[in-house]
Amino acid sequence: MQKLKRVLILSASYGEGHQQAALAVRDAIMESHPGHEVHIVDYIEMVHPRLNSVARYCYLKSVRFAPALYGLFYKGTSRIAPSSLIQRRLNHLGYEELAEFLHEEQPDVILSTFPTPAGVMSVLREHGLTQIPAATVITDHAIHSQWIHPYTDHYFVGSEHVKQGLILRGIDERRISVTGIPIRPAFLEASNRAGIRAKLGLEPDYPTLLIMGGAYGVLSDIVQICEELFQSDRRMQLMVVCGRNEKLRQQIEQLSKDAKNPVWVFGFTREVHELMAVSDLIVTKAGGLTVSEALAMELPMLLYRPIPGQETQNAAFLVKSRVAVLARTRKQVIDHIYRLLRDNGSLLARMRANTNTIRKVTAARDIADKLVELENQEVIHPPQPHTPPLLAEQS
């Protein structure tokens, strides 16, 4: 019996995007390349469980209550040169544990969907402790130095914008594939919109607004926004997803009892693809996973108060591509919604058409195919020329 090829995916559970990208690639490999087995590892949890718990707590609290502080951290870390002492120390987080793990597992190729393991893999390669091909998926439409390492064999990026940013930082364009950000197959399949509307009990001729609070229900001012929309005299129906924030779900459900328009309230759900399929507009954060799912569903976006850092870069890219509008205040959210729903949604129709200029629907499969190619490819040694990161964020 022929031995199965092994793919190791190193991820992390900071938000949903990194893990969901890993799962999407795993599913694509299992479907398209049956001679493979795939192992997904939460890298920070594996090498330092206590640090992981503290770091996740700090991350969630900072993006919710101190986004400006998170933005400063993001901007500061983007200025760290690859050859600096700080970066080299960061790249040693779990160095020995990963080396031992690779010796035990013997994978044929490695994919990182989180920056930290990508850096550690580069150091292991530099020190000659492994020759396993290593690739990275950048899970935002943003450019940050923590993703970029000299011994990474290949980068998978969401847009031409990110590709050009990597080239400016000295990465050979032959090592970059513009695949899109990988998402679950459910977002790529044709949806029976009439059937979903009937299942949910939606009004067939009402404009449908989807409000996504994020996996942990951290969309700013979501309660106040819902309160105003629930009492609106404008004809619409609303679906509100509160994620894992049970307190928020209960608040929204209580408010919905007196709503003038039809309202559906959800907690954490795996059926987001169905909700997007029957929506005319989504109000959301600008996380890489959610915006990629919306693009795949050709769904126009209203992005509210993106968190400084990768979300502001995601938002800038999407607004420039004319598939999204940006709101910085609650009033702007309401005004944008009313403006976009006017004239039978003619502006929304143009935004929906614009998604076809940047949406990538085969990202997971394309990444899976390239990883299989990398299994037998000669690894980078010595590394390609590598320049320090640019200091300014790109928009």
Which residue do the tokens 């290949």 mark?
A: 154
Whole-prediction pTM: 0.88
Q: What are phi and psi of 361, to 5 degrees?
A: -100, -5
Is residue 13's pLDDT more than 90? no
pLDDT at position 220: 67
Residue 387: which pLDDT band, with cuts at 50, 70 and 90? very low
Round to whole Å and give the CA distance between 72 and 83: 21
Domain edges within the chain: 5-184+361-374, 191-357
Residue 79: which pLDDT band, with cuts at 50, 70 and 90? confident
Distance of CA 29 to the CA centre of its chain: 19
CA dihedral 31, 37, 43, 49 (to 10 degrees): 110
Sequence-ordered list of residues with C-beta below 8 angstroms from that of 67, at least 6 positions apart, any chain: 305, 307, 308
Give the pairing type, strands 208-212 and 176-178: unpaired
304-341 pLDDT tens trace: 999 889 999 999 999 999 999 999 999 999 999 999 99
| Three-state DSSP state, 390 | coil
Which residue do the tokens 């005319």 mark?
A: 280
Round to whole Å and give the CA distance between 354 and 362: 18
Which residue do the tokens 């924030």 mark?
A: 245
Determine the straight-line distance between the first and last CA of the chain, rounded to whole angstroms.
52
Q: Do 5-184+361-374 and 191-357 fold alike per CATH? A: yes
Percent of the chain with pLDDT over 70: 93
Amino acid in the structure at residue 372: V
Is residue 46's pLDDT more than 80? yes
User: Which of 319-323, 371-375, 377-381 is most confident?
Assistant: 319-323
Tokens of 316: 């800038």
Is residue 358's pLDDT more than 80? yes
| Three-state DSSP state, 373 | helix
126-165 pLDDT tens trace: 889 999 999 999 999 988 888 999 899 999 999 999 999 9
Residue 192: which pLDDT band, with cuts at 50, 70 and 90? confident
Q: Which of 128, 136, 145 is nearest to 109 (CA)?
A: 136
Is residue 243's pLDDT more than 60? yes
pLDDT at position 215: 59
Which residue do the tokens 């795996």 mark?
A: 270
92-118 pLDDT tens trace: 888 899 999 999 999 999 999 999 999
Choose the CATH number for 191-357 among 3.40.50.2000, 3.30.1950.10, 3.30.429.10, 3.20.20.140: 3.40.50.2000
pLDDT at position 54: 81
Tokens of 217: 């229900």
Round to whole Å and give the CA distance between 54 and 321: 37
Round to whole Å and give the CA distance between 141 and 303: 14
pLDDT at position 58: 76
Residue 390: which pLDDT band, with cuts at 50, 70 and 90? very low
- The residues with which 302 forms a beta bridge, in sequence order, are 283, 325
For range 272-297, the mean pLDDT:
94
- Confirm if 235 and 206 have CB atoms less than 8 A apart: yes
- Confirm if 207 and 237 have CB atoms less than 8 A apart: yes
Round to whole Å and give the CA distance between 353 and 253: 34
What CATH number was assigned to the domain covering residues 5-184+361-374? Answer: 3.40.50.2000
pLDDT at position 385: 42
- Confirm if 273 and 201 have CB atoms less than 8 A apart: no
Percent of the chain with pLDDT over 90: 64
pLDDT at position 392: 39
Which H, E and C letters describe 98-147, residue by residue?
A: HHHHHHHHCCCEEEECCHHHHHHHHHHHHCCCCCCCEEEECCCCCCCHHH
Output the CA–CA distances (angstroms, integers) from residue 131 to 101, 127, 225, 382, in the order listed: 14, 10, 52, 12
For range 186-200, the mean pLDDT:
86
- The residues with which 238 forms a beta bridge, in sequence order, are 209, 263
